[in-house]
Chains A and B, each alone.
Chain A
Amino acid sequence: MTEQHKDYTGAKLGMWLFLFTELILFGGLFILYGVYLNRYPQEFITGGGELNVWFGGGNTLVLLTSSLTVAMSISALQRGNRSLCVKLLVATIAMALLFLVNKYFEWSAKIHHGIYPGAPSLQEGPPGESVFFGLYYLTTGLHGLHVLIGAGILTWVMFLVRSGKVNGDDFVTLENAGLYWHLVDLIWIFLFPLYYLVL
């Protein structure tokens, strides 16, 4: 009885449930953000002003575009165009890495300026700023970890597509990997204005 074909709806349902858990995982950090923004509005504005909008905005472009390419890769595979699908996935993975490289430079610049959790300059400054940067590092760090995991999953699926194990008739693995990648994008859509554009 094991030769039954895959239950597509079931697989996607499971994936969505998993995405909800990710959403609520970040939700915990959003609760803290909301509460501390409410308590320290001025310090949050000062803190946000110190973040570089160009890094944040650039990474937004990168992630939005990578979301487009991964969505297109699914359409490509559904239409049977395997090589286009692989190319789009490679582009997505490249953008994921670009995002991480950007993040690396952004973080190192901040750390270089003495802004990191537990840094002396933060402990001497107003309490709200230390909370802002604590949250900033935790949230973007956790998000960065998800980008890394997402890139890993997409690489794995890319090889499956190339070998034909994931194909136009059996592509739920690609769809689920895509869903995961879009979630990473979704979280960033909220992170960007909340941290880089507070006013």
Chain B
Amino acid sequence: MSDVTATSGRGFWDNSGGRSGLAAWIFSTDHKRIGLMYFWSIVIFFLVGVMLGLLIRLELIAPGVNFLGAQRYNATFTLHGVIMIFLFIIPGVPAAFGNLVMPIQIGAEDVAFPRLNLASFWFYAIGATLALVSLFTAGGAPDTGWTFYVPFSTRTTTNVSLAVFAVFILGFSGILTGMNFLTTVHRLRAPGMTWTRLPLFTWSLYATAWVQVLATPVLAITLVLIMAERLVGTGLFDPASGGDPIMYQHLFWIYSHPAVYIMILPAMGVISDIIPVFARKPVFGYKAIAISSIAIAAAGSLVWGHHMFTSGMSDMAVLVFSLLTFIVAIPSAIKVFNWVSTLYKGSIRLDPPMVYALSFVLLFSIGGLGGLILGAPGTDVHVHDTYFVVGHFHYVMFGGTGFAFFAAMHYWLPKYYGRTYNKKVALWAWGLMFIGFNFLYMPMQILGMQGMPRRYYDYVPKFADLNLLATISSWVLAAGLLLMFANVFYGLFRGKPFGTNPWGGASLEWTATATPPLLENFTEEPIVTHGPYDFKQAGVRADD
């Protein structure tokens, strides 16, 4: 395994499958090329989403109409939600980094169904395109919020039908990726890659894939129902013809709550992979972390009702869903405790991936504790549909999954380009982001406690100071993001060369492949003899 450094050249970049230009990418079934296509598309949509978010904050800089006005504000936050959720957070870590890293981590040449994998990317591209088209055609940009709640979504004249269809197509993309990853992990592990030697990132993808396969179809049928409602008027959610609008909320959250775990589980996997490497210690509680991924996936499917405490659901359901919600906190806390125990007495190196990973632990914990406030019906009634909720899910989704995405980007991406970024600049960018982030979303949580409702373009003057602070902080955060991306992207193309294993990782992507990896990853099938965090047995150490 030590002679992998001997392989020079540009790895899979040199092998375009006999195609050139764009065709070498959009027809490639190489998981690394597909992963990179996902990565770049996701980053572009993320930046669009960031711009929309900045617009929302700009409108809210002071009370009254400022830049957008009511209707455009509604369209802007709907779009911000749809893009960030369906085009960035859900596919972010699993589709981009899952594709790039997972097959190598288990010692496979590719995923189980490479052509299906490419189809999955195409579905993503088509869905994303349709989502954008829906903004400029028919009745204009949808204004329902990303949840498409009835009855408004079946009555509004904006272009909801096309937007809903776009999300339906995106759902297909997720389902196909999930099927593919499950089959890959079951069938293509290298000899010696037992279930207890799987890197925790792969474990988390495995749990995520189950959720993708079993929950996404419910979203699909829900969206079909909205389309049927709008096009032929089946009246299934319309009280006038005997339907029940609350059933829409059930169906929607049966998918969308598990989807929250599609967003966070792979992010937790990234953190579980990064922390041991930069603490130079085998991960603490490997089995507990692995099983807690499955436990989160399972328990996460039982709790959708906690989005509906104020919707008119029965008290029995409120009780049951609240109780089960608290159960999800257990496996999540198990992970946090194990990460912290891994750090204990470690020889910690504060390289950029580690700094992003550590801020994940902090921000996710803050967001997660806020989740307990929302999970208890008594307190939820007070803060439901306020900025507390907005602050909460930005802490979990952006502070959690977003920062994990950046951690993964700093950790793995140089491996695929063979060049790396400037570490100092990366840390400066992190500092800006961290400050901007907290002064953006913490005021939101306070505002929510004080009763500021979400989804309005206007507010009463007493909320002005904290809103101004949040808007200014959004610029700091944006500046940090810009600096971070500029630094990483410049580094990937023009930066210093990146060695085979500069971080000193012990899983296969570091020990058994060249930088950048070859077309089918390995020159010969690797035989795994130790766990992914047994740094001593692997004989690896970090470069200085």
Nearest-neighbour CB distance to chain B for A199, whole angstroms, equals 20
- A25 x B220 contact (CB < 8 A): yes
Which chain A residue has the least Cβ–Cβ distance from B178?
A17
- A138 x B235 contact (CB < 8 A): no
Q: A90 on the interface (CB 8 Å rule)?
A: no
- A130 x B242 contact (CB < 8 A): yes
> Complex Cα distance A23/B222, Å?
14
> Complex Cα distance A46/B491, Å?
70
> Complex Cα distance A22/B217, Å?
7
10 closest A-B pairs by beta carbon, nearest first, are: A127-B242, A28-B221, A134-B234, A118-B233, A10-B187, A25-B217, A24-B217, A130-B241, A131-B242, A17-B179
Q: A171 on the interface (CB 8 Å rule)?
A: no
- A10 x B221 contact (CB < 8 A): no
- B187 x A9 contact (CB < 8 A): yes
Residues of A in contact, count (CB < 8 Å): 40
> Complex Cα distance A29/B254, Å?
13
Chain B contacts with A in 250-284, Cβ cutoff 8 A? 250-251, 254
Chain B contacts with A in 175-197, Cβ cutoff 8 A? 175, 178-180, 182-183, 186-188
Binding site for A on B (CB under 8 A): 109, 112-113, 116, 175, 178-180, 182-183, 186-188, 213-218, 220-222, 224-225, 228, 232-236, 240-244, 247, 250-251, 254, 520
> Complex Cα distance A146/B235, Å?
23
Q: What mask results when residues 12 to 45 of chain A are scored 1 for a CB within 8 Å of chain B, else 0?
A: 0110011011111111110110011001100100
CB-CB < 8 A to A118: which residues of B? Answer: 232-235
- Residue pairs across A and B with Cβ atoms less than 8 A apart, 26 shown, are A7-B112, A9-B187, A14-B183, A17-B178, A17-B179, A18-B179, A21-B179, A23-B217, A24-B217, A25-B221, A28-B217, A32-B247, A36-B244, A117-B228, A117-B232, A117-B235, A118-B233, A118-B235, A127-B240, A127-B241, A127-B243, A129-B242, A134-B243, A137-B234, A138-B224, A138-B228
CB-CB < 8 A to A26: which residues of B? Answer: 221
Among A22, A131, A142, contact of B236 (Cβ-Cβ < 8 Å): A131
Tell me whether A31 and B250 are in contact in the complex, defined as CB-CB below 8 angstroms, given that A25-B220, A138-B228 are known contacts: yes
- A20 x B187 contact (CB < 8 A): no
Q: Describe A's contact surface by its main secondary structure.
A: helix
CB-CB < 8 A to A134: which residues of B? Answer: 234-236, 241, 243
- A117 x B186 contact (CB < 8 A): no
CB-CB < 8 A to B254: which residues of A? Answer: 28, 31
Among A17, A28, A138, contact of B218 (Cβ-Cβ < 8 Å): A28
Chain A contacts with B in 119-163, Cβ cutoff 8 A? 122-123, 126-131, 134-135, 137-138, 142
- A13 x B183 contact (CB < 8 A): yes
Among B112, B213, B240, B243, contact of A21 (Cβ-Cβ < 8 Å): B213
CB-CB < 8 A to B224: which residues of A? Answer: 138, 142
Contacts across chains A and B counted by CB atoms under 8 Å: 113
- A17 x B213 contact (CB < 8 A): yes
Which chain B residue has the least Cβ–Cβ distance from A40?
B242
Most buried by A among B228, B234, B254: B234
- B235 x A20 contact (CB < 8 A): no
Q: What mask results when residues 71 to 108 of chain A are scored 1 for a CB within 8 Å of chain B, else 0?
A: 00000000000000000000000000000000000000
Nearest-neighbour CB distance to chain A for B167, whole angstroms, equals 15
> Complex Cα distance A18/B234, Å?
28
- B247 x A35 contact (CB < 8 A): yes
- A128 x B242 contact (CB < 8 A): yes
> Complex Cα distance A14/B112, Å?
9
Nearest-neighbour CB distance to chain B for A112, whole angstroms, equals 17
Tell me whether A27 and B218 are in contact in the complex, defined as CB-CB below 8 angstroms, given that A118-B234, A134-B234 are known contacts: yes
CB-CB < 8 A to A126: which residues of B? Answer: 242
CB-CB < 8 A to B250: which residues of A? Answer: 31
CB-CB < 8 A to A128: which residues of B? Answer: 242
- B235 x A130 contact (CB < 8 A): yes
Most buried by A among B112, B232, B241: B241
Nearest-neighbour CB distance to chain A for B115, whole angstroms, equals 12
- Other 17 A-B pairs with CB < 8 A, given A24-B217, A32-B247, A134-B235: A10-B187, A10-B188, A21-B217, A22-B217, A25-B221, A28-B217, A28-B222, A35-B244, A40-B242, A118-B233, A118-B235, A122-B241, A129-B242, A131-B242, A137-B234, A138-B225, A138-B236
CB-CB < 8 A to A9: which residues of B? Answer: 187
CB-CB < 8 A to A25: which residues of B? Answer: 217-218, 220-221
> Complex Cα distance A29/B250, Å?
12
> Complex Cα distance A74/B516, Å?
45
Nearest-neighbour CB distance to chain B for A39, whole angstroms, equals 8
> Complex Cα distance A80/B217, Å?
38
- A27 x B217 contact (CB < 8 A): yes
- A10 x B112 contact (CB < 8 A): yes
> Complex Cα distance A29/B224, Å?
10
> Complex Cα distance A123/B242, Å?
10
> Complex Cα distance A109/B304, Å?
41
